[in-house]
Structure 1
């Protein structure tokens, strides 16, 4: 992994290997990725801040905003493919977005199983990434939402593809 290319606030995408990822990809037929997060550097090591269900760190762990080493986030048992993308913006704003994401991790924000963009007391992956950039005045989704009509989930949702289509996002790394 070319960690020397990474910068704080870079956005990471992965195509997951689990059932939840398959559901996301079936709902988002245009998308190549099922999950997203944001890069944060701590003590010289790269981590991904992301909100994820069904990836407990220990028995009894709840679905929540997590901080995983980038190698774990992209490990072969979690990702069949992935990408790192960078916004064409002031790097200070990207660093602030990464710090906001890290603060949400430290606040123990739970995963939003309701997928409700109007409630930021809990968050899902794309909601987290878009939210921290919105605080910097940047709407990663550029207003895009995906309409989904699945049993139990009907409505407009923010999908990884809604973010990856941003015209100011540039590919840094792909596998």
Structure 2
């Protein structure tokens, strides 16, 4: 009789524990049990990263939509990846230019999707000395304002311009040829609306520009991660 009683109590305990665990995982999304798989996935992804990798995503705003239309590309934002004291960051030109933790940066994109590219000969070219030069050069832009007018100056700076200049001026690598504003698809009314807001009737069609699409299509780069 006692054995049956203990057995009953044991089964009741297990059922109660299982129910409590289920409720905790459902009601409390930050429960450590629910993070195990995500943490392993994140760790696996970050183990593939290298200094100087370039990451692309689709941002969500009227301007970013205009960029996607004008460049015929799903990508509207990009940044350069650095390992700083054992933690991965994306150096990006937003308002202001700053370092953003890698996992936080991903969450800012549409559906958390992104693509990571790397120089095809990165192991030979991006030596520790060159990477340090890139990081040192990057510091001059930290805290600068985002350039909503896409001017080719260092006073303010936009995302793809930031990446292009770091590679060109610190690593001596021209990732792609520069374009002019008039080379893009400017006829769409959504693009026209943004241009009108920015420039009025004086659109600088001859301004040198580089878009995320130009970088992502560079023949010098290879895809490391693509979760689109």
Matched, 1:50 2:92: yes
1:74-113 alignment runs, 5 A limit: 74-75=106-107, 77-80=108-111, 81-88=113-120, 89=122, 90-92=125-127, 93-105=130-142, 108-113=143-148
Report what 1:160 is aligned to: 212
For residues 19-69 of structure 1, the C-alpha deviation after alignment (integer angstroms, 9 at most, x for no partner) is 33212111111x2210010001112110000002xxxxxxxxxx2201111
Which has the bigger relative contact order, CA under 8 A and spacing at least 6?
Answer: 1
Alpha-carbon distance between aligned partners in 1 of 2:79 and 2:135, rounded to the nearest angstrom: 10
Does the 8 Å CA contact 2:178/2:210 hold for their aligned counterparts? no
Of Structure 1 and Structure 2, which has the larger fraction of its residues in strand?
Answer: 1
Of Structure 1 and Structure 2, which has the larger fraction of its residues in helix?
Answer: 2
Moved over 6 A (4+): none
41-50 or 144-153: bigger deviation: 144-153
Report what 1:70 is aligned to: 102
Alpha-carbon distance between aligned partners in 1 of 2:139 and 2:117, rounded to the nearest angstrom: 18
User: How far does residue 103 in structure 1 lie from its aligned partner after superposition?
Assistant: 4.5
Report what 1:174 is aligned to: 226
Does the 8 Å CA contact 1:142/1:166 hold for their aligned counterparts? no
Does the 8 Å CA contact 2:53/2:117 hold for their aligned counterparts? yes
Report what 2:30 is aligned to: none
Structure possessing the higher radius of gyration over alpha carbons: 2
Unaligned runs of 5+ in 1: 53-62
Report what 2:49 is aligned to: 6
User: How far does residue 168 in structure 1 lie from its aligned partner after superposition?
Assistant: 1.4
Please, what TM-score do these two structures have when normalized by structure 2? 0.64
Matched, 1:140 2:175: yes
Please, what TM-score do these two structures have when normalized by structure 1? 0.81
Secondary structure at the counterpart of residue 165 of structure 2: helix
Unaligned runs of 5+ in 2: 1-41, 187-191
Matched, 1:18 2:18: no
